[in-house]
Amino acid sequence: MVKLTIDGKEVKVPAGTTILAAAKSAGISIPTLCFHGRLDPIGSCRMCVVEIEGCAHPMAACTTPVVEGISVTTNSERLQRIRKDSLKLILVNHPLDCPICDKGGECLLQDLVYEFGIDRVEYQTPKPERSSQYATPLIRYWPDRCIMCLRCVTACREIKGIGAIDIKGAGYGSQVVVIDEDKCQSCGECLQVCPTGALTENLSRYKGRPWLVKRVPTTCTYCGCGCQLELNVEQNRVMAVTTKEGKGVNRGSLCVKGRFGYEFINSEERLTKPLIKKDGEFREASWDDALSLVAEKFKSIKEESGPDAIAGLSSARCTNEENYLFQKFMRAVIGTNNVDHCARL
Amino acid sequence: MAEILFSSWGGEVVDNRGKEPQDFETVGKVSLPEYFQQDEEIKALIGWYGIVLRSAEVNVVDLCRTYMEEVQQQSCGKCFLCRIGTRVIADTLGRLCRGQGRPADLELIAGLAESISESSKCNIGQSGPLPLLHALEHFADDFAAAAGGAAVPAGKYRSRLTAPCMDACPIHLDIPTYVECIKEGKFQESLEVIRERLPLPGVVGRVCVRPCEEHCRRANLDEAISIKFLKRFVADYELDHGREPEYQVVPSAKTGKVAIVGAGPAGVTCAYHLARKGHQVTIYERLGEPGGMSAVGIPDYRLPRQILRHEVEMIQKLGVTIHYNTEVGKDVKLSQLEADFDAVFVAIGAHLSSSMRVEGEDAGYQGFIPGVKYLLDINSGIDPYPEGKKVVVVGGGNVAIDCVRCSFRIGKEDVNLVYRRTEKEMPADDVEIHDAKEEKVNFHFLTQPIKVLAENGKVVGLECIKMQLGEPDESGRRRPEPVEGSEFVIDCDIVVPAIGQTIDLSLLEGVDNVKTTRWHTIVVNEDTKQTENPKIFSAGDCETGPGALITACAGGRKAAFNIDKFINDEPLVATENDYFDKFFSQVKVYDPQEEIGFIGGRPRYQLKMLPPDTRKYTFDEVEQGFSPQEAMAEADRCLRCYRVATIAVG
């Protein structure tokens, strides 16, 4: 264990802990912007700079491991100046289109600007030219809103191990670009970690404000992994799928289907009532009628041709319990071992 | 030398403005060259460590503008303050220079410069705005005048990016970038950065003398980055994953036929760069395999032969032809090559062992084996003298250490090393000395051989005398002097002199205008590697004398660029890069005394090694290499010490 002092408070943490984590363990909050719990510290925003006694330079708390006996200050006039300068420089050309930004209301930059009370920016320089067209049919990139915190680049590389996007160019003209279009799977990991509205999903644009939606925790039904997600529901319609950092087996990650394949829920073409074909036409029926008809037909087939004339095909999108019941039904009620499901196809 | 008017370099402020020349204080922290190139005076320097002004003609506001523009161009864009802040500063300075500034701008850029330099992620941002702060403090009048609308005359400037490690590396590898690629898990990109200059990452990543690590700023905090092993890691990673390098060939306007004598590091590097420019390259190699001195002189436990062979094979894929077992001078004449090819590059290395000048060394005793021959035999799988069991190696360099460590590996029982100075003065790599000690070599320091003893034509011992250190000689090392009457004999049956190598220049017979020095090295123009015979170029040990592998590679690269120019009828002159290299070597990019102002406490990752008792009897590679996780964690220690220098010239 390493002993150090943070804001006069003695803290003991295992060797290798960062100053940021050590402060958190002691209940001391240091502002961060690019830091994300699932990523290796990036260190691009410099919001978490702290002063260490005996060191001329402030150091980023997120990337600096603790050293025995150091004394850390997390707030001072100098640190406030640096943090404010960092935010002001972002605001030099960050569009103030918060009213129509999908991230408005849950934007980390917005929160920090508010917290630091930045009401004017004295710096100016022309907008950088960003030609980058990083986009997929499902993900939209807003180059002007991008603060280049590199969370997206890091998440794509570290969490997904894909590395489809990277930063290219130098200085002010550097930008986030797709380095390999074929690699991108539109999984949306990038937009999940984006702290601003620079990456938004194309499906849910302008459909609802984040503070108006109800977030319903549920399990993804696409495969057997059991990823945890939240359906963002407004007026009984699913507007988006989000996840909570670190939650469930997926720890906040989703695949392209889990994140974007939700439109069927509210699709007008979706069947909500059973249909029975009569005189060559499908007509709506009650569940009782439909189930009775099915039972009748099964019975007659079984009597005429034996139970093995019937086979059951289940779905990988059902739960284990449902699949268990299904095979039980086929074996015990129908009397056949002809059971399979789509994951084997 | 013209006097310095002002300097804030390295925290030492010397202000001679307004003083009479006889009252001028001298500047101790920096030595600013007077000329950048012939007829081009250096009037001022602005860079990572401050401002040095020699001429009052230089407008400091314009100097700062040019410099900050360059800093912005070199900013990597990976942290907010540097990426946007340096743009804001450069723009503001631009407005000041165009007469569109306001007095409030000065305070604004000062505040911003402070924030950027205090909190940026890497040294571009940390050191970039520092001299601007010096300028705003010490040249406040000039800035106030500019802000008031006074005209700012534009000067002539040259700027360059450097880093302590990059500057120290003879071939100037872009170390911070390839280390950063490793940190981000981009191993292939890292290799591409290395191969831009060096085709032998696996070899150099094992045996480099790593001047870069001696100039690593991280050492000022805790320990230098393990640059050499990171390079080895990416090379091994590619090999382990069955990938092959993809070389880009961009043919020059005119391509030609080039003969290269020697497939050592210089020859191979030269061939690589020429082939990438579309030239037809043929290498003539005396031995049966590639690598020259690195193949025959470096044992397998340090540099497994297949690594070397593989990297050379990859270069052959570029269309380079190698004729092995073909000695130029005997099997084919150099004059013939001169006639048949558009240019010839001579890189024959230094393969003759120097004489010890002691009695008995020329008597042809059995058991007296020169170091290079000893290693060559062992590396060819032969025990040079199976009868002998007790070995004395004479010398303090890497070849001497290789000889002693190899001796155990071919079953010699008693292995001694005799060196006339102390361990501290040994030129061999400290790590090598340490490993040899672990393997239980008997070191005899302050000992000089005086006579090889023999019976019936076979070595039976080496008579030595004890030495003591006297006054420093021209190399700065204290000169050893014999202690009267301290003669003693080390019983042995093998004596291996390894006190240095010389060059066999016999191949030059029949070729005109290739001059040599009295140390038997070939004379070339240092900027172009061309001999006085315009068709013949030379680099490597045969030009510099026995030296580092990476220096030979650097020489080969430089020669390739100039051979390309020669074939294309372009003038062979030093480039701006060459002048900047010289400039930086005088100004010094690395300051071992610099206080970094951070906390350290993250020592370097150590490689796993075979234990001494196992390794000393086998030629298996001793050092085991990093895992990807270790490599990425080690690369994360890099401080990315890029820095920019701008000079005002005229």
- What are the structural domain ranges in chain B? 6-164+642-649, 257-351+503-573, 353-501
Residues A33 and A102 in one domain: no
CB atoms within 10 A of CB B487: 13
Q: Which of A45, A67, A172 sits opposite B601 (nearest CB)?
A: A67
Average pLDDT over residues B106-131: 96
Comparing alpha-carbon positions, the chain B residue that sits nearest to A122 is B108
Minimal Cβ distance to A90: which of B80, B112, B116: B80
Residue A125 C-alpha, separation from nearest chain B C-alpha, in angstroms: 6
Nearest CB neighbour to B75, from listed A59, A81, A170: A170
Q: Is A139 on the interface with B (CB under 8 A)?
A: no
> Closest-CA residue in chain B for A171?
B75
Give the integer Cα–Cα distance in Å for A117 and B91.
26
Domain B257-351+503-573 of CATH type 1.20.120.520 = no
**Residue A64 within a domain:** yes
The shortest C-alpha distance from B148 to chain A (Å) reads 19
In a domain, A237, yes or no: no
Is residue B247 within 8 A of residue B294, CB to CB? The reply is: no
What's the token pair of residue A253? 């990650």
How far is residue B352's CA from residue B371's CA, in Å, rounded to a whole number? Answer: 9
Nearest-neighbour CA in chain A from B2: distance (Å): 35
A72 and A167 share one domain? no
Answer yes or no: do A103 and A182 share one domain: yes
* pLDDT tens digit sequence for A177-195: 888 888 999 999 999 999 9
Chain A residues 106-125 within an 8 A CB cutoff of chain B:
122-125
What integer best gives the mean pLDDT of chain B? 93
**Burial class (CB within 10 angstroms; exposed 0-12, middle 13-18, buried 19+) of B336:** middle
A56 burial (CB, 10 Å; 0-12 / 13-18 / 19+) is exposed
Q: For B81, name the nearest residue in chain A, comparing CA atoms only.
A: A86
More confident residue, B274 or B617: B274
Cβ–Cβ below 8 Å for A59 and B599 = yes
Segment A222-236 mean pLDDT: 90
B72 chain-A contacts, CB cut-off 8 A: 171-172
Task: Decide: pTM greater than 0.95.
Answer: no
**Is it the case that residue B178 has pLDDT exceeding 80?**
yes
Residue A27 neighbours by CB under 8 Å, 6+ apart: none
Strand partners, B161: B644
- Cross-chain Cβ contact A147/B80 below 8 Å: yes
Digit-coded pLDDT (tens) for A240-251:
999 998 899 999
Question: Is A85 close to B85, i.e. CB distance below 8 A?
Answer: yes
The predicted pLDDT at position A222 comes to 86
Domains of chain A: total: 3
Within an 8 Å CB–CB cutoff, is residue A143 touching chain B?
Answer: no
Which structural domain, as residue segments, surrounds residue A31? 2-90
Query: Which residues have C-beta within 8 Å of that of residue A106, sequence separation ≥ 6?
Result: A210, A211
pLDDT value for B211: 95
What pLDDT score does B379 carry?
85
In angstroms, the separation between the Cα of residue A161 and the nearest Cα of chain B is 10
Scanning A260-289 for CB atoms below 8 A from B yields none
Lowest-confidence range among A38-42, A207-211, B289-293, B366-370? A207-211
How far away is chain B from the Cα of A57, in angstroms, using its nearest Cα? 5
Spatial separation of the C-alpha atoms in residues A2 and A71, rounded to whole Å: 12
| In a shared domain, residues A145 and A180 | yes
| Domain membership flag for residue A249 | no
pLDDT band at B133 (very low <50, low <70, confident <90, very high): very high
Are B185 and A163 an interchain contact pair (Cβ–Cβ within 8 Å)? yes
Domains B6-164+642-649 and B257-351+503-573 equal at CATH topology level: no
Identify whether A135 is part of a domain. yes
pLDDT at residue A132 tops 70? no
Residues A131 and A79 in one domain: no
Q: Measured between beta carbons, which residues in chain B are less than 8 angstroms from residue A70? A: 599
Pick the residue from chain A with its C-alpha nearest to B85.
A89
Is B615 an 8 Å CB contact of chain A?
no
What CATH number did the domain enclosing A27 receive? 3.10.20.740
Cβ contacts of A307 within 8 Å, gap of 6 or more? A334, A335, A336
User: In the structure encoding, which two tokens stand for residue B30, read together?
Assistant: 């920096």
Look at residue A314 and tell me if it is in a domain. Answer: yes
Residues A184 and A100 in one domain: yes
Average pLDDT of A83-100? Answer: 94
Q: Which of B80, B86, B185 sits opposite A44 (nearest CB)?
A: B80
Domain's final residue, options A182, A202, A222:
A202
Q: How much is the pLDDT for A345?
A: 46
Chain A residue closest to B87 (CA)?
A172
A241 and chain B in contact, CB less than 8 A = no
Distances from the Cα of B581 to the Cα of B63, B153, B198, B269, B585, angstroms = 21, 29, 18, 20, 6
Distance from CA of B435 to the nearest CA of A (A): 30
Residue with tokens 């900047």: B580
Q: What is the ipTM of this complex?
A: 0.88
Structure token digits, residue B31: 């030595």
Q: Which residues of B touch A78 (CB under 8 A)?
A: 118
> Is B598 in CB contact (< 8 Å) with chain A?
yes
Among the CATH numbers 1.20.1440.230, 3.20.20.60, 2.40.30.60, 3.40.190.10, which is that of B6-164+642-649? 1.20.1440.230
Asked if A86's CB is within 8 angstroms of B80's CB, the reply is: yes
User: Range with the lowest mean pLDDT among A126-140, B155-169, B285-299, B371-385?
Assistant: A126-140
Which numeric CATH code is attached to B353-501? 3.50.50.60
Specify whether the backbone of A181 is left (phi greater than 0), alpha (psi in -120 to 50) or beta: alpha
Q: How far apart are CA B501 and CA B520, in angstroms?
A: 10
Structure tokens at A136: 């997929």
User: Is pLDDT at B66 greater than 50 in this prediction?
Assistant: yes
CA A228/CA A242 separation, integer angstroms? 9
Does one domain contain both A51 and A133? no
Mean local confidence (pLDDT), A80-84:
96
Token pair 């108006």 is found at A212
Mark which residues 81-100 of A lie under 8 Å from B by CB.
81-82, 85-86, 89-90, 92-93
pLDDT at A344: 59
Report which secondary-structure segment, H or E, holds B162: strand B156-162
Please indicate if any CB of chain B lies within 8 Å of the CB of A160: no
Residue B144, both tokens:
């106030």
pLDDT at residue A152 above 90? yes
Using CB atoms, pick whichever of A43, A89, A173 lies closest to residue B88: A89
The residue among B398, B345, B406 whose CA lies nearest residue B381 is: B406
Q: Do A125 and B119 touch (CB under 8 A)?
A: no
Output the pLDDT for position A341.
Answer: 83
Q: Is B84 on the interface with A (CB under 8 A)?
A: yes
Please judge whether A57 and B602 are an interchain contact, meaning their C-beta atoms are less than 8 angstroms apart.
no
With respect to residue A131, please indicate whether it lies within any of the assigned structural domains: yes
pLDDT at B637: 95
Which pLDDT score is estimated for B26? 92
Considering the domain boundaries, does residue A293 fall inside one?
A: no
Whether A148 shows a pLDDT value over 90: the answer reads: yes
| pLDDT for residue A32 is more than 70 | yes
